[in-house]
Chain A
């Protein structure tokens, strides 16, 4: 069986190359706005990849990306406020908290049909937003200005450093998604998506698997949310718990294609880049509108996403 091994080597080579390119960019590009924009694109790649673990493999739609993302952000803020914790700790803590949130949401509603889980995740966004609006310690409704510490050497600016961190997170989340997809876990998730009763009858512990997928998804989204306050030097509930993250994650995965780990990368790169261009040249609203229209078009016309085109042609 050389096929899988060779392709695994290929993947890790590609991942290493991606990290290397990100590192090189950090030292050879001096245009600060590039990192600012690229950070968002990489964030979308991470979110879409995480979304796909539950949405694509198991078939459960999560509308609550901002909830998991926001828990990551605010966990980081609490740690900064309380102890001035370092970025790495913020990310780990954000992942843990958002993972727990995923476990909670899953335990509550993953026994039910997918629509109930989807609605429950919407509920999480608004409940959490309300909680943080009323929590003065982290700035309440008006938000909180944050002071960036000095970047760690060898990075020349904090934005550059955050860009590199987000590149690592993106590569890491893709590696996790790819591992799940190719392992017995992914096979079990696909089995339960195809037919839950048949999956149970073939030994698949469907509820446990769904909970696992939901927890991993939440943790990755939380990790991706943790650096956001430092990226903006600011945090506030309205922009943190913003539905644009929902449509970014869901749209990226569905537009790219949900059946393979490369789908969300392609979709999120496309969507993220397009958004950056439209936001700068036209307006923020139009950019979200374009994303919404793209999502609806893809769902109708190309349900297998962009990678579906290539797979069919082969």
Chain B
């Protein structure tokens, strides 16, 4: 059997005396829509920071397309096909929306500006952000900033996209809009990890869900199984 797209094996992470992750194992198949849930502070963001390279895991291994990546710097991981959006948007505020997208297109895809702009405009149109292309990033609304996060991640043409709470704080219609964008990207063959607090969204989107609690995986399965799982109920509702 060939190796999965992403294999997280026995990963742990500590901050001082605090254990943020312990023995986390995840296999992710190509093209999957994968949900990562868990109560606040359960280690979701720490886990994706370890996968994307913003943090180094203390123990365990992370393999992407058969290659050990856990010692690579973040930019190398992006170049190998892992892109992410940030929970709190981090635009390059001195640049326009379009220029924001030209950063990954120059550094990851190695496109010349002319080609990069064409591709970036395509992505922006797909996200309904095209008319804002020439606006400075620091003038965007919250929804637009979230879209910019996703659009910029897409400009790196990732094989794996990690969406870190791209919908937090958005209203109902806006949630649907972002969700549709993610579905569309998945149809193009991109594997997606979605971290979300909005349960309806995760459950609608994901084919498979993992629930973290206090740094450990407590349950894994299809959305319906997860909702029915007593451990998950315990993690959220308590015992």
List residues of chain A with CB under 8 Å of any chain B CB: 1, 184, 187-188, 190-191, 193-195, 197-206, 259
Contacts of B78 in A (CB 8 A): 200-203
Chain B 141-179 interface 0/1 with A at a Cβ cutoff of 8 Å (1 = within): 000000000001101100000000000000000000000
Contacts of B53 in A (CB 8 A): 200-201
Closest to A198 in B: B90
Question: Is A200 touching B75 in the complex (CB atoms < 8 A)?
Answer: yes
Closest to A194 in B: B92
Instruction: Name A's interface SS.
Output: helix
A303 smallest CB distance to B (angstroms): 13
List residues of chain B with CB under 8 Å of any chain A CB: 52-54, 73-75, 78-79, 83-84, 86, 90-95, 99, 102-104, 106-108, 113-114, 152-153, 155-156
A228 smallest CB distance to B (angstroms): 35
In Å, the complex CA distance between A193 and B52 comes to 20
In Å, the complex CA distance between A96 and B62 comes to 41
Pull 15 A–B residue pairs with CB atoms less than 8 Å apart, ordered by A: A184-B106, A190-B94, A191-B95, A193-B94, A194-B94, A194-B95, A197-B54, A198-B92, A200-B54, A200-B78, A201-B78, A203-B75, A203-B104, A205-B107, A259-B94
Question: Is B52 touching A203 in the complex (CB atoms < 8 A)?
Answer: no
Question: Is A201 touching B107 in the complex (CB atoms < 8 A)?
Answer: no
Closest to A188 in B: B107
Given contact pairs A188-B107, A198-B86, A205 touches B92 in the complex (Cβ within 8 A): no
Contacts of A198 in B (CB 8 A): 86, 90-92
Question: Is B104 touching A195 in the complex (CB atoms < 8 A)?
Answer: no
Question: Is B106 touching A187 in the complex (CB atoms < 8 A)?
Answer: yes
Question: Is B106 touching A201 in the complex (CB atoms < 8 A)?
Answer: no
Contacts of A202 in B (CB 8 A): 75, 78, 83, 103-104, 107-108, 152-153, 155-156
B113 smallest CB distance to A (angstroms): 8
Contacts of B93 in A (CB 8 A): 194-195
Given contacts A201-B52, A203-B156, list 12 more A-B pairs with CB under 8 A.
A184-B106, A184-B107, A184-B113, A187-B102, A191-B92, A191-B103, A194-B91, A197-B74, A198-B92, A202-B153, A202-B156, A205-B107
A287 smallest CB distance to B (angstroms): 33
Contacts of B106 in A (CB 8 A): 184, 187-188
Question: Is A205 touching B73 in the complex (CB atoms < 8 A)?
Answer: yes
In Å, the complex CA distance between A119 and B90 comes to 28
Question: Is A1 touching B114 in the complex (CB atoms < 8 A)?
Answer: yes
Interface-central residue, B73, B90, B153, by most chain A CB under 10 Å: B90
In Å, the complex CA distance between A200 and B113 comes to 20
Contacts of A194 in B (CB 8 A): 91-95
Contacts of B73 in A (CB 8 A): 200, 205
Question: Is B103 touching A206 in the complex (CB atoms < 8 A)?
Answer: no
B70 smallest CB distance to A (angstroms): 15
In Å, the complex CA distance between A256 and B233 comes to 61
Interface-central residue, B74, B79, B108, by most chain A CB under 10 Å: B74
Q: B108's contact among A1, A195, A203, A259, by CB below 8 Å, is which?
A: A203
Closest to B149 in A: A198
